[in-house]
A and B are shown apart, each in its own frame.
Chain A
Amino acid sequence: MSTQIPIQEGLFTWPAPSPQLIGSRCLNCGEVTFPAQPSCPACTSDRTEEVLLSRRGTLWTWTIQHFPPPSPPWLGDPKAFEPFGVGYVELPEGVRVEAPLTENDADSLEIGMEMELVVRRFDEDADGNERMTFYFKPAA
């Protein structure tokens, strides 16, 4: 049986029944950034702490990627390409996070709609592990 591993360590909690994105909060000014980084782009402080971000937010903007992204760096299969949604979701921490969306249909996306975080399989690595990444999907 294959193991599920995050596409990159430190991006989101995994494995977890309700995964959360891992950001950083500035110990000087309180600004929250994703992914976590050791310094603050708002105030230049180099003191931050990790913070788990809310799983729900609102869709701030979106688009649909209709052509296969240049590869590298994209690791999808151009031959099996399906358009995918991308958006920024505004979270209660005062940060808008960019992510692929589970929906790829313009009619199912609207600025201001409730979204929630999900973690799904992206691809498989050379050792047969399933590499997992995060998406936002319209909240139920």
Chain B
Amino acid sequence: MDIAIIGIGLHPFGRHEGVSAMEMGVIAARRALDDAGLSWQDVDIACGGSLQVLQPDTMGKFMGLTGIPFTNLYNGCATGGNLLLSAANAILAGSGDVAIAIGMDKHPRGAFSVGDDLAGIGLGQWYGEVGLAVNPQFFGMKTQRYMHDHGISEDTLHRIAVKAFENGSRNPQAWRRRALSYEEIATSEMVCDPLRKYHFCSPSEGAAAMVVCRADRAARYTTKPIHIRADVFKTRLYGSFEVMHASIPADSRPSPSVQASRSAFEAAGIGPEEIDVAQVQDTEAGHEMMHMAECGFCKDGEQEALVRDGATGIGGRIPINTDGGLLANGEPIGASGLRQVYEVCLQLRGEAGQRQVPGDPSTGFTHVYGFPGVSCATVLSR
């Protein structure tokens, strides 16, 4: 893929009383355009994604009604990854010169609800009525089985959370900027065994946007383009263990995260061992642990030693979720994947301040994963 990111914008994640998701989307889009030295009139294609905003394209009246195709897109927690992919694909197809991807969301406090009509997600109503339609149950159960199979202790979960909030404390744009002690995390209340309160991210509010163009035209707009070397979207294969599945076969298959990451690394011609900074979906500490292996950064079971030795911290061999990840930023679903890309762009541009990965990183990776078994993996380079 020969597409470059030429502008990045973020409306910081957190709680923003009185500011709508769409207003945050407008702010992120304007920041991304400013970063590229462009205005909305220069945009040929827009892609918007959100859970809470029914139709992101309605924001056109705040940006300016210029007649461009503005596609709405939603793929659960993988929405952000797909927004970038769709914008890039539109440029690859020759539909225009400049495309923008905008993700925005604003969720109420508390666990995500699937609402009152489960037929809309292919499930019987009974599944929700008896209390099975709860994401954290799946996170707990997958983590539980993985720890059993690969000899990993709760120590790894605690350390992953310590690192997330430590990174968040170095990120002025993070929602949770207080570093938490190992003790606080390890003794926080149990949510879904073996996962505790501070192992989890919370739904939050925020927006992020990216402006892209053909790589060979990027120099017109910026001196620091970030190249999308590969961007792959996969849905679940029969046999992968996924959230909200009333049954799964005993004969298991690799997750969509494995499929997407492998394909992305292959297409990029860059291997996971060559990545300088990575973002993986850390809905909770258990999934950061599992995604380290699913995305190819280690073998199953190696996480215990890697995390203990600080390999995934800033300054480690493979820094992961350097901005504090979902744990320190929360998850506005539509925007989350683009926040990951925003962070990797900052790192590769050398603009990450207190949390800058040392050694002048030149390659990055982002990964989103979500219901009902979707994943996007992106390989980036300077």
Contacts and interface: CB of A to CB of B under 8 A. Distances in A.
A35 B115 contact: no
Nearest to A53: B247
B121 to A, nearest CB: 10
A11 B113 contact: no
Contacts of A63: 137, 140-141, 144, 192-195
A84 B134 CA distance: 12
Given A23-B247, A42-B238, A100 B132 contact: yes
A76 B131 CA distance: 8
B145 A42 contact: no
Interface in B229-281: 238-239, 245-251
Contact of A72 (B115, B191, B194): B115
Contacts of A76: 131
Interface in B154-177: none
Contact of B145 (A11, A35, A61, A106): A61
B114 A73 contact: yes
Interface residues of B, number: 43
B311 to A, nearest CB: 27
Interface string A5-25: 001100100000000000100
Contact of A96 (B148, B195, B250): B250
B145 A70 contact: no
Nearest to B238: A42
Contact of B191 (A11, A41, A66): A66
A76 to B, nearest CB: 6
Nearest to A34: B247
B246 A65 contact: no
Contact of A64 (B128, B130, B133, B193): B193
Contacts of B127: 73
A88 B246 CA distance: 9
A95 B131 contact: no
B256 to A, nearest CB: 14
Contact of A65 (B116, B142, B192): B192
Contact of A69 (B125, B133, B249): B133
Given A69-B134, A73-B114, A95-B248, A64 B192 contact: yes
A74 B4 CA distance: 45
A62 B142 CA distance: 9
B189 interface: yes
Interface string A77-96: 00000001011101000111
B110 A97 contact: no
Contacts of B145: 60-61, 111
B62 interface: no
Given A90-B250, A95-B247, A106-B193, A111 B144 contact: yes
Contact of B130 (A67, A87, A111, A122): A122
B179 interface: no
B131 A66 contact: no
Contacts of B144: 61-63, 111
Nearest to A81: B131
Contacts of B238: 31, 41-42
Contacts of A74: 128-131, 133-134
A96 B134 contact: no
Contact of B116 (A35, A42, A64, A72): A72
A95 B250 contact: yes
Nearest to A112: B148
Chain B CB within 10 Å — which of A31, A69, A74, A122 has the most? Answer: A69
* Nearest 4 Cβ contacts at the A-B interface: A73-B128, A70-B113, A63-B140, A72-B116
24 contacts: A7-B126, A11-B126, A35-B247, A61-B141, A62-B141, A62-B193, A63-B144, A63-B192, A64-B140, A65-B137, A65-B192, A66-B190, A67-B191, A70-B112, A72-B113, A72-B116, A73-B113, A75-B130, A90-B250, A94-B251, A99-B132, A100-B131, A133-B126, A133-B130
